[in-house]
Each structure stands twice: as structure tokens, then as C-alpha cells.
Structure 1
Amino acid sequence: MKVVVIGAGFSGIAAGIRFPQRVPNLELTIYDKNAGVGGTWYSNKYPGLACDIPAHCYQYTFEENTDWSAFYAPGPEIRAYLENVATKYKVHKYLKLSHELIHAAWDEPTSRWHLRLRILTKPLPGGGFEEIEDEADVLFASFGTLSRWKWPEIEGLEKFGGRLLHSAQWDVSEGAWEEGVRDWGEKKVGVIGVGSSAIQIVPALQPKVKQVVNFVRGKTWLSTPFSGAKMAELLARNPDAQNFEFNEENKATFKDPTFYKEFRHELESDLNSVHAATLRGSEMQEEARAAFKESMLKKLAKKPWIADHILPDFPVACRRLTPGPGYLEALCEDNVEFVTDAIQQVTETGIETADGKHYDLDVLVCATGYDTSFQYPFTFIGRNGRSLHEAYTPHPRTYLTVAVDGFPNFFQSLGPNSGVGSGSLLVLIERQLDYAVAATLKLQRERYKSVEVKKEAVDDFDQYLEHYFPTTVYSEKCRSWYKMGKEEGRIVGLWPGSCLQAVRALASPRWEDFNWEPLDKVKNRFYWLGDGQTYNEKHLTGDRAWYLNPDEVDIPPVPKV
């Protein structure tokens, strides 16, 4: 089987581990447009970049890291974790970095995906880049949701004479961002936005620059950060911590496998216990709202007027929820200005707001988000010339987020409706990958040349989505990337249920929801049984008692009296 993976973030690296582990006779290639592994954690290098869920829950189930420096680990540590995992499991031998997908098309005669990619390290004299072609029996895509950034549509943005940056394209030519802002001590920096990136950038820059001006039009909830009994034990030693930093003593306790497994299990269990807060009118939603409001008001005590402009009317979790350690405290510092008037235009020297006031700036940071419409910047053609662009218009329609009708032998992770409002995204990524691996094995084992989800199955999942989300806070009026950046409309960013429900749903594939096209022109469905023996016994090679291996033997528990 020839499998091609697009993307080398969390999904792609896991694919480089699981496909070779489980699929025999495999040819695997993993392409990524970036020059290194990590996906969004490679691309993003802005000040304050960090995980917004507990780091000990933001790792593979099979690869634990006991050396996180903080409860919300900084971005460079997450990228280093991914690089270490890729090195440990020898994923690099499958990687082709700086290779950008520009065209993919299903070829009916061969039942294969035909791909065209540009090599970003090989520019051509007349412009453009050298291109290559490839083919695949199975295409596994991990394009990523937050990977296609865009500039905001603000009049005069191109006229700005100072330094213009986007949070997703931070200039790190001078090294780490700390090095890059070392000479910013006398600079005035404008930050546009109040999303998760802006909330991390503002407190990171505040102590390093003369002034930060945060231009904010929306509102957002900031969650209280810590929970769980074992975390409470650590927090008791530093009750005022915004982002608990693990010292060597803490890390030493994590070296005890029993303690660490209990610690991690408790954190994930806690993370998976708040789904009820996303349901309209639930008791947990009201409790969260009251707790977060109290916490935010307390942190804004020095500038209480800010609360009138940042505390939302919409429910908690309607838009992406973040703990935002240090953000509200930074807003209260003397060198930070919080501006809520609409931006009229960008000038050569700064920003002019609708009230006619002008803010002189040396640096302007646009923390204004990504294109979350799932309309990708490459051509992707399935059966009968139908494009993925068409399939995702007016909104994406998938089967359990992993497959799309009209696109055979194509599976994806972190596609439409793959995000989680609560719980661990990493375990969902692993289960989506497991689904693709299981389908590949069935294609191989039972000699099918194509598998395609039935349109009626996609229709039914779409109907389920339409009926589920009105019961949640996500459908309330608030601007969110969950709704493709709109205040109201279709939810395309989130799974229709809890993280645990998604894990259960993907665990046992419903192969009856797919059409399977045989490879051989033989009517008997048991043709794949072959000549009555396995390869190993026929050639007297390999393991001929594999069913006795520890990972194969299912030892039943002895019933207690």
C-alpha cells in the first residue's frame, strides 16, 4: 500500500508512527510545506505563545513528557516535544519537508490519488518553484484548522511605515522572539485583537516595551486556570501563580511512574468533566459564568472600567475559551492602553480610531486570526470532477469528520467539526488516525481498490449536526472561528458532542456506511482468502504463533466471589 500524508504536525507525526507499525508492505511519504515538523507549533513563534490547556494533557497517549516547565507550556517546548517524538520513532525517514501540495485529483482508471507538489527550496529562474508528482492508494490529510492566516481588512494597512507583523508570521530572523524585541524598550506597540493569540502577546510584550495599545472590539471570557486535587497540592505552594511553573522538585516527583500516571489521569479526567458547561442553560454553565466573572473582575480591580468592554453578554465557551494567564493584569499596567473604539484607518505612523483619536505606533501586531472556512488554497478533485471546494460549500459536510462522499480512499484529521470545546484534542487526533489506518488495512487485507463513504451517511451526520448544536452555547450570538469567523451560522469547527463521545464514536468503524469497490474482477466475496494459508506458514518465515504474544492475548479477569 502506498500511503501519502499531508502535514507533519501532531497528526502527521502520529501517522508516521502508526501506519508503519500496523500496516505491512507499506510505502509511506509525509509531505509538509514547512521546513520543520510541528505544524502550527512550527509556524507560530509570536511572543507568549503557549498551550491553553494543561501541557500534561497536550501530548500523545503513548508518549509522556515529565519535563514540561509550566502548567501551560510555552510553544518552543511543544515544538521540541514533537521533534523528539519524530526522532525517537524514526519518522524523519518518511518526511519530505518544504513540499507544498498544489493539486490532488482522484484518478478513476488506477483508483489512486495523483498529487502535484512544489518544492519550496528549489526556486526556478523565471519565477515559481520546481514541482514533483506522486501517487497514493490512500491519502491521509492533516491540513490543520489554524494554519491559513490572513491580514485584517483595515483601510490603509499597507501604508503603515513602522514594523508590521501578524501573530502567525512573526519575524524570527533575529532568533527567538525575546532576542527580536530586545531593542523595543522605547517602542510603542499596537496589538489588534482579543483572541487567544492577542491574549498571550500583550502580557509577553508589556514588560519589554514602552507602551502597548490593545485595540479590542469583541468580548471574551477568560477561564480560571487550575483544577484537580494533585494540581491543588502543587498550587498551594504558590497560590498567586498565573501559570504554575514546575521546579526541579516537581519534575522529580513526575519521575515516579505511578505518581505521574495518576497526576496525568486526574488532569485529563477533570478536563473531560466539563462538557455540561457547553449546554444551554445548564447548571455548570451558570456556575462557570459566575466564577469567571468574579475572577475577571478581581484581576481588573485597578481599571474596573475595562470590565464593561470585555465581559461578554454571551455564555461561557460560545467562542474559544482560554485561561489567558497575565492578560488582564497586563491591561491594568500603566504602560498598557485598552482601546475599544473602532479602527477608522491605519496611517503611516499609527492607527486612527472612529472618535478621531490617533495613536502613534512604532510596531503594529495583527493578532486577527485565520481563515477557518476550510476553503483550501489548492485544487482538490474527487470523483466526477467534483472539488472539495464544492463539497464544502456553503459549509463543509463530512462523515464523522474523517471522510467525504465523492472522495474515495481519503481520510483526514482535524478537518471540519474536529475541534473540541472541552477535553483533549490529542486523543481525538489519535482516534481519527486509527480510523484511517483501519480502513487502509481493510483495503489491503480484503483486496479492495477503493472505499467511499455513502452520501446518505454524510446526510445523516449533517442532520445530526444541525439538531445538536442548537442545544449548545456555541449557537449563541458571538463571533467565533467555530462559525467561520461569523457571529451566527453553521458551526464548522467543533465536534457535535463531547470529546469522550467522539472517542467512542470513532472506536468502532461502521463499514456498512461505505461503498467498497473490489480490486479483482471476481464475484466471490471470499476471493481474498487466497490459497488457504498465511504468508508466514507458506514461506516458513515470520511469527507463526503471534496469537500468544502479550499484546494479543486477552486475559479475562477472574470473577470475585
Structure 2
Amino acid sequence: MGETPVATASSTPEPQSPVEKPVVLEERAVDECRPVKVIVIGAGISGILAGIRLPQRIQNLDLVIYEKNPEVGGTWYENRYPGVACDIPSHSYQASFEPNPSWSRFYAPGAEIGEYWKHVAKKYGVYRYLQPSRKVLEAKFNDATSKWQLKIQKLETPNQEIFEDECDVLFACIGALNDWKWPDIKGLHDFKGKLLHSATWEDDYDYQEKDVAVIGIGSSAIQIVPTMQKKVKKIDHYARGKTWIAMPFASEFAEAKNPDGKDFYFTDADIQKFKEDPEHFYAYRRELEHELNSAHTITMRGSDLQKGAVEFFTENMRKKLASKPEVFDSLLPPFPPACRRLTPGPGYLEAIAQDNVNFISEEISYVTAEGIVTKDGKSRPVDAIICATGFDTTWTKRFPIIGREGRILAEKWKDHPDTYISIATDGFPNYFMSLGPNSGVGTGSLTIVLERVVDYVCKAVEKIQKENIRTIEAKASSVRNFQKYCDSYFPNTVFSMKCRSWYKGGTYDGKVSALWPGSCLHAERVLSSPRWEDWEYEYINDSDHGWLGNGWTMADVKPEADRAYYLEHGQVDMPPVIV
């Protein structure tokens, strides 16, 4: 038997210590804000807020806001159909920092809302950063440079020139309800009369004394019908779906109403009092928002408020449709209130009870050159067809958004749009969204949630600037965990019950993809306090200690700086004195 070899010093190599990279200090002060470029897509409410807060809070900022329309306003610029209005109280649909005491109505007309947000944009300098009539065609993340590269079309030029731009951070403020579509009805475009969609209304169309058809039973149709009913000869209202028509939300806060009870408004005396007595106005607004934010329990299955709403809304609908009980039977839903978007619809029930409105629940078969034919074979000629049939709510049919390693957002979201707290998703670094999937609120103030989203993005941009961060990206585990939370939350709500709703991407029983999983106040609190541990980071020069800079602060290197700033009067945090 051979001898076992004996290990010697010469035959066994010594373990080697890993080679440490030399420490190289970043040539920057610890609190220095490096230059950063942010591109905002869209100049609706979110884009306007971004155009205000980003320049206010971010130093060394290059900001561009691209908007496909020639003016700011988003949905309030695009939607100009008859009767378009806010369907929540006006005083809850404004910026927290720019209260408007002069709303003419409790549910302000769309044009008035559009003018308010134009005023806000002008007052706070948003137009300095706005590039209107610019349509984004593609946004692609460059892995090598960690920049977003965009292709943009100049819509107002004769040849609609396409150019490119790039940025460090991309903030999509494109909204959920602006990708309108025609309904899929055979022969629709063979119609020889006037064909209109509520989202692309032609202001110069005169519908007075016409026979018109209105297709749809969503919020737009519910506003169009009572407005047109007073002026047209006849309305054929095609409404296959069922829906709750709520009593106007918090209507006790409206100071007056028209004699017919259809519209709530503020008198000149009311508005003057709001203007002359800011404390009275402030108290009114707070009490109103308190009331609206107290309604969240209506969304919970089996709650007392939900049960009470069923009884109250049913009786209201039955009473106002007493002259047409068959319409009441067709309209009354089998699902609970708020399963689909709850609409107050002032004047709608009164309008469809009128003799010149023909409520048709029969399914449409096809459209001819003269009018509409239903499944029962009945043909109804009309002068105009108005499609109030909504928008594409699948979140995937916009321009291509291409993230890390060529991943396309539409493919990632083809089954279900997954996000981290509605503002980001994994695989798409330095990319944020406002009004993305799971961002809407079923009750309460949407505008305060939009403000908090913008606040969050401001904090993220500041973190990128000051902490030597090249990319910030929601962790895949954070996205999964938020989706697990949504899957646990929504079964307890009426939103997940069987009703066809854009909350669920237009399905009856799909996942709830449009709404925040909680109350308005829950969203406000979550978005107010970022959990930075839910994100992952890449650092400039791959230096995870680079945020420490070179040992200096900006106060050290600027001769004129105050180097005792921590003792500034009024800035010292004084603890209470205990006697």
C-alpha cells in the first residue's frame, strides 16, 4: 500500500484575502445637489402639481413637461360634452394650497374646473416648463447610461416632426381615463348622420330639435342625457347596464338649489361671504372634506352604511321614476352601491322620466346609415349618435414604455398591472407614475392623494441628487407584497363583487386594478412617509459610500454661507419644560 502524501507549506497555497478596491472620494460635498433632469409626461392636474412642487423643492433642476394637447388641464381640456361637470363637490376638487371661494356650483361645470387649473398653472409658473402639442411616442430606459430616452412628436407642425430627448427621472402623469375608444358595434361608422364620442366633442355641433341616440350608462352619459333632454326633440338612451344613481354627495353643504331641484349652486351672497370671511370658508371646506372622508365604510361589504345606501338609493330611484316603473326595473342593479363608480347624476332620473326620452335596455345589434337596430329587430332612425362608452382601461395601450433590458411595460402588465403603492414597478428604474394602477379612491378627495404622489416623487428626486444614486427602483418583492396586500384587502369590499366596472379593467369579476386598497386618508398617510427600504439602488461609480462625499459640506465651501445654521432663530427644536 502506498504512503499517504503529507501536505507541506510548499504544496498548500495560503488563502488569499480579497483584493479591496482603493477608496476614492467622490468630489462632492455631502449635501450637494447634483444636476438632475426630470421629464413629466402630461399636464393634467398631476402634471400641474409636478410643475409647481418640483421647482419649489428641487435645486439644480432641469424640468420639461410634455403635453399632447395645446393647453393644460388634461381631462378638463379634453372633455367638453354637454353637461360635463365634476361629480364630487367642487371644494374637494382643488389644490390644498389654492382654495377657490368662487365656485358657481356645488358640482362645478367642466369649463370652470379647466379655468381653475389654468389659473393655478399660471399663478405658480408651470408654463415656464410646458411644451404643449408634444406627443410622446416612446420612452426607453438606456441601461448603459441610466437615462430615459424619449421620442416626441410635434403635433402642431405641418410635417409633425419627431425629435428625441432624455432625462434622469421620468414621471408619467398620463392618467387613467384619456385613451378613449369607439364601441365595438357593427356598422357604427356606416352611419350617415353625426357620430360623436363624449371624449372628442365638437363644440360647434347644434343638437337642438334633433333626434339623438346616447349610448352608455356611465358618468358621461348620466351628465349628457339631462343636459340634452331639455333641447333635443327626442333621445333614444341605450343603457344595457345597470347602475345606482346616488343622491348628491354631501348635498347639505350646498347653499341653494334650482327650483326644479336638479342642480345645486352657490348664490352671489354665498360666494361673497366666502371671499370676505376666510375663516368661514376654511371651516366650510374642512367640514365638507371631513364628511366626504367619513363615507369610506360604504365600500365595505355588509356595513351599516352600505345597507342604508341600498335602501335610500332604491327609494329615491323608485320615487323619481314612478311614471316609468319599467325603467326603474331595468336600471336597478343587483349589485351593491359603489361596486362600480357611484355617480350622483343631478337631474338624470328626472330627465329619463320625461316623455321625450326613450330608455332602451335591449342590446344593439348593428348600426345602419340612418340609425340603430336592436336585437329584437326594431330600427330607430336618428340624426346623431353620441357614444358615451368610456375609455381603454387596460393600462397597456399607450405609447411603448421600455424598461431595464428591453422589458416592455405592456407585456409585463398584460395579465394584471402590478405596482408598488401605485407609483412604480420593478424593472423600470427612475420611473414614477401618478394615477397609475391601484391609485384611485372610491371615496374622499382625489386631489390630496395626487398632491402626496407628487410630494413622494419630489423626495425621491432629492434622494437621488444628494445620495449619489444612479437608479432607484421598486424591489420586485415590494411589488409582490403590495399586490398580496391588494388581494387580501379587496375581497372585503363591494368593489370585488360581480359588476362590470372599469375598476376591474371592464370585467365583471377581475382583479381590482384602478382603486387604492384603503381609504383616501390611508393613501394620504402611506404616500406621506416613503419607506426607502422598499427600494433598491445603484450608485454613481458603483460607490455605495459615495453619498458621504469628500468630507465637506456646501456651507464649508461657500464663503458667504452661514456655518452656524443649526442655531438659526426659530429652527432649534425646543423641548417642553417640565416643572
Equivalent residues of 2:88, 2:249 under 8 A apart: no
SS in 2 for 1:51: coil
CA deviations 1:405-434 (Å, max 9, x no partner) are: 000001111000111110111111111111
Equivalent residues of 1:225, 1:242 under 8 A apart: no
- The worse-fitting range, judged by mean Cα deviation, of 45-54 and 382-391 is 382-391
Structure with higher Rg: it is 2
Matched ranges for 1:19-38 at <5 A: 19-38=54-73
Equivalent residues of 1:186, 1:210 under 8 A apart: yes
In the alignment, the residues of structure 2 paired with residue 349 and residue 545 of structure 1 have an alpha-carbon distance, to the nearest angstrom, of: 81
Residue 116 of structure 2 corresponds to residue 97 of structure 1: no
Residues 370 and 553 of structure 1: is their aligned pair in 2 closer, same or farther, counting only changes over 3 Å? farther
Aligned to 1:136: 167
CA deviations 1:315-353 (Å, max 9, x no partner) are: 000000010000110001111111111111111111111
Matched ranges for 1:147-296 at <5 A: 147-172=178-203, 174=204, 180-181=205-206, 184-227=207-250, 231=253, 234-235=255-256, 241-255=261-275, 256-296=277-317
Residues 161 and 492 of structure 1: is their aligned pair in 2 closer, same or farther, counting only changes over 3 Å? same
- The worse-fitting range, judged by mean Cα deviation, of 355-364 and 162-171 is 355-364
Aligned to 2:17: none
CA deviations 1:370-409 (Å, max 9, x no partner) are: 0000013311110111110122120100000011100000
- Kindly report the root-mean-square deviation, in angstroms, between the aligned alpha carbons of the 2 structures: 1.9
SS in 2 for 1:285: helix
SS in 1 for 2:265: coil
**Offset of residue 264 of structure 1:** 0.6
Residues 542 and 289 of structure 1: is their aligned pair in 2 closer, same or farther, counting only changes over 3 Å? farther
- Identity among equivalent pairs (%): 53
Residue 567 of structure 2 corresponds to residue 539 of structure 1: no
Query: Please, what TM-score do these two structures have when normalized by structure 2?
Result: 0.90
In the alignment, the residues of structure 2 paired with residue 219 and residue 239 of structure 1 have an alpha-carbon distance, to the nearest angstrom, of: 29
**Offset of residue 550 of structure 1:** 9.1
In the alignment, the residues of structure 2 paired with residue 414 and residue 238 of structure 1 have an alpha-carbon distance, to the nearest angstrom, of: 35
SS in 2 for 1:271: helix
Q: Which runs of 5+ in 2 are unaligned?
A: 1-35
Residues 532 and 170 of structure 1: is their aligned pair in 2 closer, same or farther, counting only changes over 3 Å? same
In the alignment, the residues of structure 1 paired with residue 409 and residue 124 of structure 2 have an alpha-carbon distance, to the nearest angstrom, of: 33
Letter in 1 for 2:553: T
CA deviations 1:6-28 (Å, max 9, x no partner) are: 00000000000000000000000
- The worse-fitting range, judged by mean Cα deviation, of 146-155 and 512-521 is 512-521
Residue 329 of structure 2 corresponds to residue 308 of structure 1: yes
In the alignment, the residues of structure 1 paired with residue 140 and residue 518 of structure 2 have an alpha-carbon distance, to the nearest angstrom, of: 32
CA deviations 1:131-173 (Å, max 9, x no partner) are: 111111111111110000000000110110100000001012x
CA deviations 1:434-469 (Å, max 9, x no partner) are: 111111100101111111111011111111111111
Aligned to 1:60: 95
Residue 151 of structure 2 corresponds to residue 116 of structure 1: yes
**Offset of residue 486 of structure 1:** 1.1
CA deviations 1:189-223 (Å, max 9, x no partner) are: 10001100000000110111111110110011111
Query: Please, what TM-score do these two structures have when normalized by structure 1?
Result: 0.93
Q: Which of the residues 147, 166, 177 maps onto 1:146?
A: 177
**Offset of residue 305 of structure 1:** 2.0
In the alignment, the residues of structure 1 paired with residue 88 and residue 486 of structure 2 have an alpha-carbon distance, to the nearest angstrom, of: 26
**Offset of residue 551 of structure 1:** 9.2
SS in 1 for 2:157: strand
Letter in 2 for 1:289: V
**Offset of residue 242 of structure 1:** 2.9
Residue 38 of structure 2 corresponds to residue 17 of structure 1: no
In the alignment, the residues of structure 1 paired with residue 121 and residue 65 of structure 2 have an alpha-carbon distance, to the nearest angstrom, of: 12
Aligned to 2:426: 405
Letter in 2 for 1:394: D
- The worse-fitting range, judged by mean Cα deviation, of 297-306 and 258-267 is 297-306
Q: Which of the residues 457, 474, 477 maps onto 2:495?
A: 474
Equivalent residues of 2:258, 2:265 under 8 A apart: no
**Offset of residue 71 of structure 1:** 0.3
Aligned to 2:547: 528
In the alignment, the residues of structure 1 paired with residue 447 and residue 567 of structure 2 have an alpha-carbon distance, to the nearest angstrom, of: 31
In the alignment, the residues of structure 1 paired with residue 335 and residue 412 of structure 2 have an alpha-carbon distance, to the nearest angstrom, of: 32
**Offset of residue 536 of structure 1:** 4.3
**Offset of residue 65 of structure 1:** 0.7
Residues 284 and 535 of structure 1: is their aligned pair in 2 closer, same or farther, counting only changes over 3 Å? same
Aligned to 2:27: none
**Offset of residue 253 of structure 1:** 1.5
SS in 2 for 1:106: strand
Residues 308 and 558 of structure 1: is their aligned pair in 2 closer, same or farther, counting only changes over 3 Å? farther
In the alignment, the residues of structure 2 paired with residue 238 and residue 197 of structure 1 have an alpha-carbon distance, to the nearest angstrom, of: 22
Aligned to 1:351: 372
